[in-house]
Amino acid sequence: MKKIFYLFLFLIFGNMIFAQQSEKKNFILLVVPEADTVLAYSSHYRLSGSTLPDAKLFLNDSLVYVYPSGAFAGLLNINDGENDFTLSSVAPDGQTVIKNFVVIKKVTHLKPTTTDSLIIENSLRLPNKNLILNTGDILTFRIKGTPGVEAKFLDRFPMTELIKIKPHSTPGIYFGRYKVKDSDSIVVDKIYFTLTDSSGKKITKYFNNSLKIIPSLLPFTGVTTGERPYLNYGLGTNRLGGAKLEFINPGIKLRIIGENNGQYKVLLCKDKIAWIPESLVKIDSLYSPAVSLTGLMSVYGDDSLDYVNLGLHVKLPYSSRVELNPTRIIVDVYGASSNTNWLVFKNTAKEIESVNYTQVADEDFQITIKTKHNFIWGYSINYQGNNLVFTLKHKPRSLDLEDLVFAIDPGHGGRNHGAEGSTGVLEKYVTFSIAQHLKALLEDEGAKVILTRTKDTLIYNSKRLQNVLKSNADILISIHANSIGLTTDPRKTKGTATFYKYIQFAPLAKAIFHRMLEAGLAPYGYVGKFNFTLNSPTELPNALVETAFLSNPEDEMKLLNDDFREKIAEKILAGIEDFLDWAEDN
């Protein structure tokens, strides 16, 4: 089986590099830009590709450095409009290959709407999502249309033409703001704007976004749905999604007090809000209680887990965090008011040293769990009926590798290629190779290893995580290769990095990072609060290892070498062993 696997890897990497080089047939493989004609929105665009290692390469007659792997990389200067580039590769025997490509920098100058007729455009419109607003919220409305006329939103809110207060603005942009009052009541299934010219001619345009301003009927009640719903801190987002406050259970009741940008605004307790994507909530009814008195509270344990059980009348939202020195887990239950007059602590709990509770604010019931060990091996929060159950994982009886279960995640797979190096090598193959080496090393030590994918196939991260949690693994390591964006010089960013989300798992990421540096990789750093799916579980220690930058030709050359990929696996293993040595005493 191993022979088949290594033959598979040889074919992958060999076809990309060694076959081309052995034939000595000149070529140009252009990886970035990704097509012969691309659009740019910046004054720079990344250049990445490969040719024969001993060829001379020119970009518009300027000599370009070719790395020993045949890779070349750099940063293109882009002017407004069309930018024509020619790559010429000249082999030692005179074979010449030419590759032409165009980068078009799109210049977006906002043009005024024509004055010939009344027009309301689709661009710049606000609101552009469904809205539910409450007392004190600000309604902002904006439209672009015919300049120099009268504009109104919903036929009741006057709008000001921006050019009247900002002379250099584009004519025909109208805006307005309104602060919601207790007495307001507006419900429309479609928002609309109206323009009226000096002759009294009028045009109205409707848009398929609803607006509800009904403070007297708020909050609505929603119920969380989906496998793993979550609360966000705010409306901000990036390629990893919004900053998450907590992953919570399905079936939890939420008080909905607003809606904006595809998310519901949730009242957790007085002066504390969160946001949740609309897709993760089912509106339950116009209003029903999403609050509860607390009931009986108990602490107990079994052979592998300790429990804190809190009685409630309804499933309420919660959040958790870990504090260090001393190690404590803080759980806030929102919408809960204390009616708990005693706490039953059974002597079966093995990891929990003490539990305390207090009402820290109106409808914020806080539980503090102090652990016997400094390091936390994982915890979860779930509901059994309406009882909130906090579960703390015991420290493994033995921290020897042969007594542990490891989940190893080779990043990407199938049509999800991941990053692409200058030579055309794909991240999904690099990660799979390193994961196989790490699996072999761990199994040689007697450890049990579970891979999140065992072949080149697409498995979504949510499914990978689900399988990891079902496996009862002790440690999760996700393996990737890094890359930069399209506007950064690939030659200037390189090195290794490890990532974690929760502070309690930082020691694992830090230990692996320091060992990775021994492989001769530059220190990109170890990064906390990372909002990646396989960093998101609190149930077990986990770390994401971005081994090196495939976008950097020097790092890529290292990753192309199977001996180096095995060396990376050895360093990850050494980091795991360092972490386990540390955890033995913590």
Please check the confidence at residue 279 and state whether its pLDDT lies above 90.
Answer: yes
pLDDT band of 239, cuts 50, 70, 90: confident
**What pLDDT was estimated at residue 12?**
55
Give pLDDT tens digits for 325-338: 999 999 999 999 99
Sort residue 136 into left (φ over 0), alpha (ψ -120 to 50) or beta. left
Give the mean model confidence (pLDDT) for residues 305-314. Answer: 97
Same fold: 2-105 with 292-393: yes
CATH level 3 topology of 292-393: Immunoglobulin-like (2.60.40)
Architecture of domain 219-285: Roll (2.30)
When the pLDDT of each residue in the chain is averaged and rounded to a whole number, the result is 93
> Could you tell me the CA-to-CA distances from 436 to 30, 93, 209, 429, 544 in Å, in that order?
30, 40, 50, 11, 16
**What pLDDT was estimated at residue 238?**
78
Rounded to whole angstroms, the Cα distance separating 143 from 184 reads 23
pLDDT band of 236, cuts 50, 70, 90: confident
**What pLDDT was estimated at residue 107?**
79
pLDDT band of 217, cuts 50, 70, 90: confident
353 membership: H or E segment, kind and range = strand 352-361
Give pLDDT tens digits for 156-208: 999 999 999 888 889 999 999 999 999 999 999 999 999 999 999 999 999 99
Rounded to whole angstroms, the Cα distance separating 528 from 151 reads 48
Rounded to whole angstroms, the Cα distance separating 165 from 248 reads 47
Query: What Rg value do the Cα atoms of the chain yield, rounded?
Result: 29
Tokens representing 400 are 């020897």
What global pTM score does this model have? 0.89
Give the mean model confidence (pLDDT) for residues 302-324. Answer: 96
Please name every residue paired with 191 in a beta bridge, in sequence order, or none if there are none: 207
**What pLDDT was estimated at residue 319?**
97
CATH annotation of 2-105 = 2.60.40.10
Element counts in the chain: helices (H) and strands (E): 7, 41
**What pLDDT was estimated at residue 106?**
84
580 membership: H or E segment, kind and range = helix 562-584
Rounded to whole angstroms, the Cα distance separating 163 from 151 reads 14
Beta strand 297-301 with 343-345: parallel, antiparallel or unpaired? parallel
Give the mean model confidence (pLDDT) for residues 401-430. Answer: 97
Residue 249 DSSP class:
-
**What pLDDT was estimated at residue 372?**
95
The count of other CB atoms within 10 Å of the CB of residue 95 is 14
**What pLDDT was estimated at residue 282?**
94
Going edge to edge, which strands form the sheet with 173-179?
138-144, 173-179, 157-161, 150-153, 191-196, 202-207
Rounded to whole angstroms, the Cα distance separating 447 from 443 reads 5
Rounded to whole angstroms, the Cα distance separating 80 from 105 reads 5
pLDDT band of 17, cuts 50, 70, 90: very low
Residue 403 DSSP class:
G
The count of other CB atoms within 10 Å of the CB of residue 469 is 17
Tokens representing 266 are 């949730």
Give the mean model confidence (pLDDT) for residues 38-45. Answer: 94
Domain ranges of the chain: 2-105, 131-210, 219-285, 292-393, 401-584
Please check the confidence at residue 26 and state whether its pLDDT lies above 70.
Answer: yes
Give pLDDT tens digits for 83-134: 999 999 999 999 999 999 999 998 777 888 888 889 999 889 999 999 999 9
Rounded to whole angstroms, the Cα distance separating 427 from 559 reads 10
Burial letters 248-273, b for 16+ CB under 10 A, else e? bbeebbbbbbbbbeebbbbbbbeebb
**What pLDDT was estimated at residue 284?**
83
What ranges make up the beta strands (E) of 411-482? 448-451, 475-482
Nearest to 478 by CA among 556, 418, 422: 418
**What pLDDT was estimated at residue 13?**
57
Give pLDDT tens digits for 461-515: 999 999 999 999 999 999 999 999 999 999 999 999 999 999 999 999 999 999 9
Please check the confidence at residue 237 and state whether its pLDDT lies above 90.
Answer: no
**What pLDDT was estimated at residue 20?**
45
**What pLDDT was estimated at residue 9?**
53
401-584: which CATH number, 3.30.460.80, 3.40.50.150, 3.40.630.40, 3.40.109.10? 3.40.630.40
> Could you tell me the CA-to-CA distances from 433 to 438, 461, 482 in Å, in that order?
9, 19, 15
**What pLDDT was estimated at residue 1?**
47
